Amino acid sequence: MTAAFQSWFGMPYEWAWFTATIIGILVIALPLMLAVAMIIYADRKIWAAMALRRGPNVVGPLGLLQSFADGLKVFLQETIIPSSANKGLFLLAPIITFTVALIVWAVVPFQAGVVLSNINIGLLYILAASSLGVYGIILAGWASNSKYPFYSAIRAAAQMVSYEVSIGFVLIAMVLWAGSFNLSEIVNAQQGHVLGFLNGFGFNPLLFPMSIVFFISALAETGRAPFDLTEAESELVAGYQTEYSSMAFALYWLGEYANVILMCTLNAVLFWGGYLPPMNIDLIPWFDIPGIIWLFIKILVFFFMFSWVKATVPRFRYDQLMRLGWKIFLPLSLIFVFLVSGYLMLTRVGVAA
pLDDT bin (cut points 50, 70, 90) of residue 215 is: very high
Residues 75-131 have pLDDT tens digits of 888 888 888 888 889 889 988 888 888 889 989 999 888 888 888 988 999 988 888
Give Cα separations from 220 to 81, 215, 238, 319 (angstroms).
29, 9, 17, 13
Report the pLDDT averaged over residues 155-163: 87
Average pLDDT score, the chain: 87
Report the pLDDT averaged over residues 126-137: 86
pLDDT at 353: 40
% of the chain surpassing 70 pLDDT:
95
pLDDT bin (cut points 50, 70, 90) of residue 15 is: confident
| Residue in 152, 149, 139 with CA at minimum distance from that of residue 92 | 139
The answer to whether 121 and 181 have CB atoms below 8 angstroms apart is yes
pLDDT bin (cut points 50, 70, 90) of residue 213 is: very high
Q: Exposure of 327 by Cβ count < 10 A (0-12 exposed, 13-18 middle, 19+ buried)?
A: exposed
Distance CA 53, CA 293 (A): 30
* Torsion sign, CA atoms 48, 52, 57, 63: positive
Q: Is residue 351 over pLDDT 60? A: no
Give Cα separations from 219 to 147, 212, 222, 309, 332 (angstroms).
26, 11, 5, 9, 17
Q: Is residue 179 over pLDDT 60? A: yes
- CA dihedral 196→202→204→206, nearest 10 degrees, is 160
Residues 251-285 have pLDDT tens digits of 888 888 888 999 999 999 999 999 988 887 766 66
Q: Is residue 146 over pLDDT 50? A: yes
pLDDT at 280: 79
| Residue in 101, 120, 277, 126 with CA at minimum distance from that of residue 184 | 120
The answer to whether 156 and 149 have CB atoms below 8 angstroms apart is no
pLDDT bin (cut points 50, 70, 90) of residue 1 is: low
